[in-house]
Chain A
Amino acid sequence: MRFDREQLRMVFALFVVAAIAAILLGLTDMLTREPIAEAQKQALHRALEQVLPAHGNDPQAQVVNVAGTAIYPARVHGALAALAWEVIAPDGYSGRIRILVGVHPDGHVLAIRITDHKETPGLGDGIVGNQPWLDSFRDRSLDNVRWQVKKDGGDFDQFTGATITPRAVVRAVKAALLFYRHNRAAIVARLNGEAKALQTAGSNGSEGGDE
Chain B
Amino acid sequence: MNKQEVFADGFWHNNTIFVQLLGMCPLLGVTTSAENGFWMGAATLLVLLGSNLVVSLVRGVIPKNVRIPAYITIIAAFVTVVGMAMNAWMHDMYMILGLFIPLIVVNCAILGRAEAFASKNSVSAAVVDALAVGLGFTFALLLLGGVRELLGQGELFGFAVFGESYPDVLMFILPPGAFIALGFILAGVNLINRRLKARSDAAKLAMIRAEAVRVNATAVAVEGA
Chain A residues within CB distance 8 Å of chain B: 6, 9-10, 13-14, 17-18, 21, 24-25, 28-29, 31-32, 35-36, 39-40, 42-43, 116, 118, 120-123, 161
Are A17 and B80 touching (Cβ within 8 A)?
no
Whole-angstrom CA separation of A154 from B168 in the bound complex? 27
> A21's contact among B66, B76, B170, by CB below 8 Å, is which?
B76
Are A21 and B168 touching (Cβ within 8 A)?
no
A18's closest neighbor in chain B, by CB? B73
- Interface hits, B171-218 → A, CB 8 Å: 173-174
Given A14-B66, A120-B174, A121-B32, output 14 extra A-B contacts at Cβ < 8 Å: A13-B62, A13-B70, A17-B62, A24-B77, A24-B81, A25-B81, A28-B85, A36-B88, A40-B91, A42-B91, A122-B32, A122-B170, A123-B170, A161-B170
Q: Cβ of B19 < 8 Å from any Cβ of A?
A: no
Which residues from chain B contact A42 at a C-beta distance below 8 Å?
A: 91
Chain B residues within CB distance 8 Å of chain A: 32, 58, 61-63, 65-66, 69-70, 73-74, 76-77, 80-81, 84-85, 87-89, 91-92, 95, 99, 152-153, 168, 170, 173-174
Are A17 and B170 touching (Cβ within 8 A)?
no
Q: Interface on chain B toward A: helix, strand, loop, or mixed SS?
A: helix
Q: Which of B70, B88, B92, B173 has the most CB of A within 10 A?
A: B88
Are B84 and A21 touching (Cβ within 8 A)?
no
The distance from the CB of B163 to the nearest CB of chain A, in whole angstroms, is 18
Given contacts A17-B70, A35-B88, A161-B170, contact A28 B61 (CB under 8 A): no
Whole-angstrom CA separation of A13 from B65 in the bound complex? 11
Are B69 and A14 touching (Cβ within 8 A)?
yes
> A32's contact among B65, B73, B84, B173, by CB below 8 Å, is which?
B84
B94's closest neighbor in chain A, by CB? A39
Q: Which of A6, A28, A120, A161 has the most CB of B within 10 A?
A: A28
A161's closest neighbor in chain B, by CB? B170
The distance from the CB of B179 to the nearest CB of chain A, in whole angstroms, is 15
Are B70 and A14 touching (Cβ within 8 A)?
yes
Whole-angstrom CA separation of A18 from B152 in the bound complex? 44
Which residues from chain A contact B73 at a C-beta distance below 8 Å?
A: 14, 17-18, 21
Are A29 and B66 touching (Cβ within 8 A)?
no
Which residues from chain B contact A36 at a C-beta distance below 8 Å?
A: 84, 87-88, 91
Given contacts A10-B63, A121-B32, contact A21 B77 (CB under 8 A): yes
